[in-house]
Amino acid sequence: DAGVIQSPRHEVTEMGQEVTLRCKPISGHNSLFWYRQTMMRGLELLIYFNNNVPIDDSGMPEDRFSAKMPNASFSTLKIQPSEPRDSAVYFCASSTDRLSNQPQHFGDGTRLSIL
Amino acid sequence: QKEVEQDPGPLSVPEGAIVSLNCTYSNSAFQYFMWYRQYSRKGPELLMYTYSSGNKEDGRFTAQVDKSSKYISLFIRDSQPSDSATYLCAMRPFAGTASKLTFGTGTRLQVTL
């Protein structure tokens, strides 16, 4: 079975540019999560969707960050304009809440570097 | 102060050793506790899942929760080089995706030959 698929795997861009990260969750999963991982702060939840609807975006750091989930098989996280402090590894995860205590399955992340 | 504290390591042990990884937390509402393993340049994967206090064993891995001390542990017996990874603890107040997972920053483990 295909896991959570993220693209691109690596992104290097200059400060001020728009960055779009993409995620395809596991088929049948109805919850999707975007995380950011840094050495200093660890893994932080940015936003999560349930049945394509944003439920909690309290972790989104600033208005420069936005996320969408137009359908059950695709989500994007956009940063506009990007800043060097946005450099991190961004993970997407999905799970199903049809059974209790289901784990979150993570993609392999997008390593983002803003110069 | 962070809700979940975890020593970043690195922790280096010889093959065959028993490894103890630990997290402390401050939120007494946490009831579900998880350990994730993350290999370099990969996403975290769930290793162990426990509810409330007590022990849970799965092969070489044992997860232990002490809610009175707000302390959780993961023990790895007969450690192998393939266990070399970063181990993250995670916890939530109740079951279901409506409950936010809070992660520790991870402990990097190196098992040497």
pLDDT tens for each residue of A10-48: 999 999 999 999 999 999 999 999 999 998 888 999 999
Contacts of B88 in chain A (CB under 8 A): 42-43
Q: How far apart are CA A10 and CA B72, in angstroms?
A: 34
Contacts of B32 in chain A (CB under 8 A): 101
B74 neighbors A28 (Cβ within 8 angstroms): no
CA distances from A11 to A76, A114, B43, B86 (A): 14, 8, 17, 23
pLDDT at A102: 74
Contacts of A31 in chain B (CB under 8 A): 97
Per-residue pLDDT of B11-48, as tens digits, reads: 999 999 999 999 999 999 898 899 999 999 999 999 99
Q: How far apart are CA A32 and CA A73, in angstroms?
A: 10
Nearest 10 degrees: Cα torsion B37, B103, A56, A12: -60
Q: Give the count of alpha carbons within 13 A of A73, CB side only.
A: 3
Which residues of A, range 18-47, sit inside 8 Å of B by Cβ? 31, 39, 41-45
Which residues of A, range 42-101, sit inside 8 Å of B by Cβ? 42-45, 48, 50, 55-56, 91, 93, 95, 97, 100-101
Q: Token pair 């784990």 is at which residue?
A: A103
Largest separation between any pair of C-alpha atoms in chain A: 43
Question: In the predicted model, what is the mean pLDDT of residues A69-98?
Answer: 94
DSSP for residue B111: E
**Mean pLDDT score of chain B:** 92
Q: Give the count of alpha carbons within 13 A of A83, CB side only.
A: 6
* B42: closest CA of chain A, how far (Å): 5
Closest residue on chain A to B40 (Cα):
A108
Contacts 24+ apart (CB under 8 A), B8-12: B8/B105, B8/B106, B8/B107, B8/B108, B9/B107, B9/B108, B9/B109, B10/B108, B10/B109, B10/B110, B11/B107, B11/B108, B11/B109, B11/B110, B12/B109, B12/B110, B12/B111, B12/B112
Q: How far apart are CA A26 and CA A48, in angstroms?
A: 15
* A45: closest CA of chain B, how far (Å): 8
Q: How far apart are CA A50 and CA B51, in angstroms?
A: 23
Contacts of A91 in chain B (CB under 8 A): 43-44
Closest residue on chain A to B92 (Cα):
A101
pLDDT at A4: 96
Contacts of A105 in chain B (CB under 8 A): 45
Residue A1 has pLDDT above 80, yes or no: no
B103 and A42 in contact by Cβ < 8 A?
yes
